[in-house]
Structure 1
């Protein structure tokens, strides 16, 4: 769940001859952009993604987003149920030239499920995702693309908004978990997940893919990821690998990866010695989901000390990732290393609605949203997740 548009979007945009722009933050949206959109950077490649993460993060801190923010996201959906990364003219029907993708669709489905009142839109999005499931049970970034761990994980998160167990959603004999397990490495190679097999068919450990896959293999999502002290974080090979075992193996890899310094390093060529803030935030969520707050303590503390400038530069998706990490890891998003992450996030877009209170002081909006999440049952910012292939 990262400011994650990197490899998957880059691959897609290279195919159509364009480049991925940098995404910058500002105190308020540019007048040239829709007033309901979070962030002032070019939304061409991440508009729906960052909007979805922002709404999900607000849901996690019990803040009701402005109607304009929700309406903008809902208006991005195509008649098919799919979402593109961004379409400037929502009044114009989607056509074959508009590239829709699984990541934007899955994130939007989760966000609209959280805010409530968009059941039809969520069902249409999930129905479309099911219609483009690969024969191996997984999903690529674009329909028909080779399955990858990040895309499959965020789609699993969307599937959990429904009442059907994820393991029963199949294309032929294969479920989403089958696709994830095919990308799990043995303990001799660290127990991590690969993003995809490389050109020679070899699996290479990828920290961003591992963070996303651990959360998904645990049967949770961006909406429902919570610290769980019951899971182990040791690696053990098994004759019949299960999602739970693969999640434990992946968490073991992440724990070792952040043991020195408290953060994950970038996998971008030439930047190997630089921290990867987004993937570190995702790793916090994964470690907390698998092993509880103690397992996530060191990378979470590192983010509290070091992520301020990164979040300022990268805007709403970055703030949302940090909120999700703080929530899962047991920190206070309103005082994260001295920064109020919620305040910073909402400053990039329309101010949230003051949540109405019932007589007991409980937010009515939160009760509705929590009920939707609970009804989803069991079944992954970051996009999210860095969808990065190892070089």
Structure 2
């Protein structure tokens, strides 16, 4: 069964949407044989469902910590990309790409990682082209192409577009007779990416305490939207115009503004200009009511703390300029480090927590060390020059000049001593 490590994964998201109905199908499915952990990958657990996900998060977090990852770590991620530009969750070495296994979540985080690392523009361009080609006509993205879109996957795709400096408002499914993939690119062009994200957000028609939340998907029968905690947290970073890593200095010193719904003139969907504040207000309320963390609730199971949703909510609030509203959640996550990261052995959780700490400008050297230890030895760290050969040459040059100076001083001193001895004893 897919785990929460793969945020937005198809089976997990379906379980969150329909509850126990998804359980039997997953339980009856034969468990796949665990894949061997390849060299270059962060973490030692089975990478079948989260290999690209955790690798991408780890590379983003380490780059932000001024750690230069090993070539094998970067090469593993770039080697997972298929010729058409998409990424699967994991592909064994030598295995052919299967378009049916490529997914928008893995592709979106991989794009963000390669943008953060720099120097991988062709791979980034191919990844963005894959997202454009696999966008739904309503502007959304599904986990796997060909399915109805969901808020989690659409949010991640928008994050990737922002990271790649591609305006999401310009990205829409091309109409008939056009293959450009940009808004208005021919008759019948679809909704753009921001419109696709907006279709999942609850507006003024919803009860006051639900406004600004995101649904995972509309109800297939009625089209009604029901707030979903994980979907709201995941989509919120995109609604605030952000991507990984979150590195903003904006501080509004105010709480997020809830939707203004004084009369019946409010639009049917939340305008993008208000989307980030609206979901920020919703998440702030949930965090305050839940003891600074969000909760995962599924039918038939006891409510449990949702580390991942809490982390993404904190990232979104910080991106939106509300670090004070995120600080309690960051404190809570810090206190849950051992449980969430499995004592620093879960690469995806460790990387996510590190990204949150970095966004909130907290000391993160210990977390950085733990994440670094889960993968191949880095080429360099913030305290180690990347070009050790250059550093050695500079040191060697200094040493040579130092020795020459000492030799000159010894020579001068010896000459003076000999001169004084000759004056005292002319026979010398």
TM-score interval, smaller chain: 0.7 to 0.9
Matched, 1:157 2:159: yes
Question: What does residue 219 of structure 2 align with?
Answer: 198
Identify unmatched segments of 5+ residues in structure 1.
24-29, 335-339, 365-391
Query: 1:100 aligns to what?
Result: 102
Residue number among 193, 196, 199 corresponding to 1:182 in the alignment: 199
- Name the structure 2 match of 1:145: 147
Contact 1:160 1:220 in 2 (8 A): yes
Matching of residue 48 in structure 1 with residue 52 in structure 2:
yes
**Structure 1 runs, 4 residues or longer, greater than 6 Å off:** 19-23
Q: 1:327 to 1:270 in 2, by over 3 A?
A: farther
The answer to whether the 8 A contact 1:227-1:292 is kept is no
Equivalent-residue separation in structure 2 for 1:193 and 1:118 (angstroms): 33
Post-superposition offset of 1:291: 3.5
Between the aligned partners of 2:295 and 2:41, the Cα distance in structure 1 is 31
**TM-fit CA distance, 1:267:** 2.2
Higher RCO (C-alpha 8 Å, min separation 6): 1
Contact 2:212 2:258 in 1 (8 A): yes
Deviations 1:139-187 (A, max 9, x none): 0100121111111111112112334322111121411110111111125
- For 1:347-374, what per-residue CA distance to the aligned partner results, in whole angstroms no more than 9, with x for missing partners? 211122214899xx9x89xxxxxxxxxx
Shift of 1:208: 1.7
Q: What residue in structure 1 maps to residue 241 of structure 2?
A: 219
Select which of 322, 337, 361 maps to 1:292: 322
Matching of residue 246 in structure 1 with residue 281 in structure 2: no
Q: The residue matched to 1:263 in structure 2 has which SS?
A: coil
Pairing 1:360-371 to 2, within 5 Å after superposition: none
Q: Which deviations, in whole Å up to 9, do the C-alpha atoms of 1:259-292 show, x marking residues without a partner?
A: 1311111123344432111111111111112233
State the number of aligned residues.
Answer: 346
Name the residue aligned to 1:235.
258
Measured against aligned partners, the alpha-carbon deviations of 1:210-258 in whole angstroms (never above 9, x if no partner) come to 1222211222111345353237512114634322311111111111111
Matching residue of 2:115: 113
Going from structure 1 to structure 2, the CA distance change for 1:21 and 1:204 (only over 3 Å counts) comes to: farther
> What's the CA shift string for 1:40-70, capped at 9, x where partnerless?
1111111111111111111222211111100
Which stretch of structure 1 is more off in the superposition, 110-119 or 310-319?
A: 310-319
Compare 72-81 and 209-218 and name the one that shifted more.
209-218
The match for 2:332 among 262, 279, 302 is: 302
| TM-score for both structures, normalised by structure 2 | 0.74
Judge which range, 251-260 or 10-19, deviates more: 10-19
The Cα RMSD (Å) is 2.9
Query: Which has the greater radius of gyration?
Result: 2
